[in-house]
Amino acid sequence: MARQRSGSASFDLSEISRHAIRPRQLHTFSVHYSAANRWVATINVSDRHADEVLGFPGRHTCFSFTFESEFEAKRFAKSYAPPRMVPVSSNDAFPCCFMCKVRFPRKSTGSSSRRFLFQNCRNCGVAVCRSCCVAWSQRMIPKTYLMNESPHSVRVCKSCDWLGNAFCIALLRGRLDDAKALHATGNVNLRSTYPDIRGEAMFPVHCAVIGGNLDILRWLVDTHGCPIRVERTSAVQQLNQQSQQQYKFVMTSNGRSVLDVALAGK
């Protein structure tokens, strides 16, 4: 089961009102049909606040991925379009933490400009103080959220941490209505792993199988396009449109597919 962090009394849906949640504001994305008879999902990342939020000059990055169907392309783009980081300007009179409302302390940058000490949640984008964020494995968020970085861990707000734990537990306990309500917040990742499910990293589709509720698995796969297998293509296959398509199953960290988890009964 998802590891409960100290200080989190409950991950029951009834506790959701206790958490300050701001739905993600996503970067733009588009889907089009290409001359190669493939659907292309394009995610545009342009953040003029990137220099202050992430520590490097603002830049424009474009990610493109190809799919067999329009449905797959659209669901992928929505899942992988990263959130916009909420800026904290030096001109703000009293910038404060989104969660606890404590004012951010100022820091000197070695020049005449002054900035504030804060963290942006890499899962939803809000600005929070150090006390209101926790560390996640970078595998718990989509790769496109990392902006071409390769950190071992990322900082997320405690509200997103609670949502992630609550959603995982809802899947493991087969609670479809709870899972839908938590996903409706806009800040739940359906295609990223949970790192410690009985010592094994699993995707939500694996957790749904453990929960034993096929309606949840159908909701993830049919409604939100969560794959249980993905297309495997090489550079040669991409050039040769007549090549036979090959697939690989979405695996847990122990190399188990959805079917393997179902057959094991746990």
C-alpha 58/C-alpha 211 separation (Å) is 43
pLDDT at residue 182 in the model: 97
Q: Which two tokens stand for residue 228?
A: 């249980």
Going from N- to C-terminal start, the domains of the chain cover 13-105+113-264
Domain 13-105+113-264 = CATH 1.20.120.1230: no
Classify burial at 127, counting beta carbons within 10 Å of its beta carbon; exposed 0-12, middle 13-18, buried 19 or more. Answer: buried
pLDDT at residue 133 in the model: 94
Q: How far is CA 4 from CA 169, 199, 263, in A?
A: 10, 14, 27
Q: Residue with structure tokens 């993830």?
A: 220
Q: Which two tokens stand for residue 114?
A: 């002054």
pLDDT at residue 165 in the model: 95
Helices and strands counted in the chain (H then E)? 8, 13
Classify burial at 151, counting beta carbons within 10 Å of its beta carbon; exposed 0-12, middle 13-18, buried 19 or more. Answer: exposed
Q: Which two tokens stand for residue 80?
A: 């992988």
pLDDT at residue 146 in the model: 86
**What is the greatest pairwise CA distance in the chain?**
64
Q: Residue with structure tokens 């302390």?
A: 105
Q: What is the pLDDT along the chain (266 residues), one digit of tens a residue?
A: 454 444 445 899 999 999 999 999 999 999 999 988 899 999 988 755 544 445 545 556 788 999 989 999 999 999 999 999 988 765 666 789 999 999 888 776 644 334 678 889 999 999 999 999 999 999 999 999 987 666 788 999 999 999 999 999 999 999 999 999 999 999 999 999 998 888 899 999 999 999 999 999 999 999 999 999 887 654 444 444 545 567 789 999 999 999 999 999 76
- Contact present, 134 and 159 (Cβ < 8 Å): no
Interacting residues of 167 by C-beta distance below 8 A, sequence separation 6+: 179, 182, 183, 188, 204
pLDDT in tens, 72-106: 999 999 999 999 998 876 566 678 999 999 988 87
Classify burial at 161, counting beta carbons within 10 Å of its beta carbon; exposed 0-12, middle 13-18, buried 19 or more. Answer: buried
Q: How far is CA 96 from CA 67, 93, 103, 179, 261, in A?
A: 42, 10, 4, 31, 45
pLDDT at residue 117 in the model: 80
Q: How many CA atoms does the CB half-sphere of 44 hold within 13 Å?
A: 6
